[in-house]
């Protein structure tokens, strides 16, 4: 049974991510009886996710500040502060931060996505080694372990979702 839960900013786990970005785990499945997970992300310009698909979670991204391009299936959008993207499970998607920085709030339903961030990222309660970086091998391994699949490299501005990702996204 879920209980009311408050997480103060100072208690949020911070995870180092792609290109110097940081994810704050605001709520995880343990706090919400696996109903949802929520993340606040400070993204750096040029940070991009590989094309990937979640088999279990829907992902909703609220752009609080900054801008980016979001792809889902055969659609793409340029989003800015105040815009929201809903990225349903089993639909391949990707994103690219196009502003110098961006502040995002992401809610995944049900919970569980936090396991992926924890597996591929670096817990900032520990010093980050100088040579550490999130790479495609780490992302792919973490994705497979957490019910996701990396389908291909990040997309760049002007790209469309490759047709091969549209046909091999569902199992």
Residue 151: Cβ-neighbour burial (10 angstroms; 0-12, 13-18, 19+): buried
Residue 167: DSSP 8-state: H
In a domain, residue 169? The reply is: no
Look up the domain containing 94 and give its range.
11-147
In a domain, 26, yes or no: yes
CA atoms within 13 A on the CB side of 87: 28
Picking from 55, 49, 56, the residue whose alpha carbon sits closest to that of residue 71 is: 49
Provide the whole-model pTM: 0.93
Pairing of strands 37-44, 84-87: unpaired
Tens digits of residue pLDDT in 55-85:
999 999 999 999 999 999 999 999 999 999 9
The CA distance from 99 to 102, in Å, is 7
Q: Is residue 135 included in any domain, yes or no?
A: yes
Total domains, the chain: 1
CATH number of the domain enclosing 32: 2.60.120.10
The tens digit of pLDDT for each residue in 86-111 reads: 999 999 999 999 999 999 999 999 99
């Amino acid at each position: 049974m879920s209980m009311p839960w408050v997480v103060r900013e100072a208690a949020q786990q911070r995870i180092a991510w792609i290109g110097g970005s940081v994810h704050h785990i605001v709520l995880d499945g343990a706090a919400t009886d696996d109903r949802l997970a929520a993340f606040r992300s400070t993204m750096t310009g040029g940070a991009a996710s590989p094309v990937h698909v979640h088999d279990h979670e829907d992902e909703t991204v609220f752009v609080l500040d900054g801008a980016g391009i979001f792809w889902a299936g055969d659609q793409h959008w340029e989003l800015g502060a105040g815009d929201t993207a809903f990225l349903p499970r089993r639909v391949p998607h990707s994103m690219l931060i196009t502003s110098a920085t961006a502040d995002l709030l992401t809610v995944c339903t049900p919970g569980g996505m936090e396991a992926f961030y924890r597996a591929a990222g670096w817990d900032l309660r520990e010093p980050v080694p100088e040579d550490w970086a999130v790479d495609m091998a780490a992302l792919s391994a973490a994705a497979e372990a957490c019910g996701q699949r990396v389908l291909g490299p990040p997309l760049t501005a002007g790209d469309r979702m490759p047709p091969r990702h549209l046909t091999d996204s569902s199992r």
